Amino acid sequence: MADRLILVGRVAGAFGVRGEVRITSYTAEPAALLDYKTLQREDGSPGLTLTSGRPAKGGLVVRATEVETREQAEALRGLKLFIPREALPEPEEDEFYVTDLIGLDVVTTEGEALGKVRTVHDFGAGDLLEIQPPTGASWWLPFTREAVPEVRIAEGKVIAVRPEETE
């Protein structure tokens, strides 16, 4: 987990004519990106070093040391921006980051192994856990209290109710 990168934003394009960059933020508070300052590319290489910014619809308008012109800002459109997982503050007791679920064992309330959490997605109707069983195709589990009554990060497991059991 030490080298895991977390997607926190995406360059949406240029803003104005002086090299400002529009960033769509994926953080709860868009301005949090300014606290991280150095944002990386998906491969871990430097992406943007933010020097200042202000809230804008759907994210931020920022200045970055790597961008001086509108053309440079526009050329970055679509660039995904990441931070290292360890840059996030530690969650409160009984809280966790969704990214920390990836790789955890998924077991039933009786302890039967169902697989591992492969990914977590939100397609607009709430989070879904993609579960990869030991063999066969992966399947989706709604990340609700009914389907996932317990998350035990310290034990490395998610307690789940089989979908057919919740109907």
Owning domain of residue 148: 98-166
pTM for the whole structure: 0.70
DSSP string, 26-84: -SSSTTHHHHH-EEE-TTSSEEEEEEEEEEETTEEEEEETT--SHHHHHHTTT-EEEEE
CATH code where residue 150 lies: 2.30.30.240
pLDDT of residue 34: 93
What is the per-residue pLDDT across 69-88, written as a single tens digit (0 to 9) for each? Answer: 999 999 999 999 999 988 88
Stretches where the chain sits below pLDDT 50 are 1-2, 166-167
What is the rounded distance in angstroms from the CA atom of residue 53 to the CA atom of residue 22?
10
What is the per-residue pLDDT across 145-162, written as a single tens digit (0 to 9) for each? Answer: 999 999 998 899 999 998
Asked if 79 and 144 sit in the same domain, the reply is no
Asked if 82 and 102 sit in the same domain, the reply is no
